[in-house]
Amino acid sequence: MKVVLEVTFRMGGVNFRGTRWEDGNLVFEFERLGDAFIQVLSNQKVEAEVEEPPKKVLVELKTKEGGKVFEAFERDGRYLAAEP
């Protein structure tokens, strides 16, 4: 089955790094590690092929300051999330 994630970030410069499973949750990994970022909303759509549906879909964003994890919600067969 395919899991489609559409995520909106508050700044540009975000790169998708991959996915991993954690306690039955599918985690999409992103990072923003540079020094200068465009202050505009940045949208990304990524997909992952999985064998079973995840309990939750999470977005992990790593930054120079640390990072954050936030949850996506399912709507019409795809997952949507926005950086808090």
The strand ranges marked E within 1-84 are: 2-9, 15-22, 25-32, 42-49, 57-63, 66-75, 78-82
Contact between 61 and 68 (Cβ < 8 Å): yes
Does the pLDDT value for residue 15 go beyond 80?
A: yes
Does the pLDDT value for residue 13 go beyond 90?
A: no
Q: In whole angstroms, what is the distance from residue 73 CA to residue 13 CA?
A: 23
Considering the entire predicted model, what is its pTM? 0.92
20-65 pLDDT, tens digit per residue, is 999 999 999 999 987 766 678 889 999 999 999 999 999 999 988 8
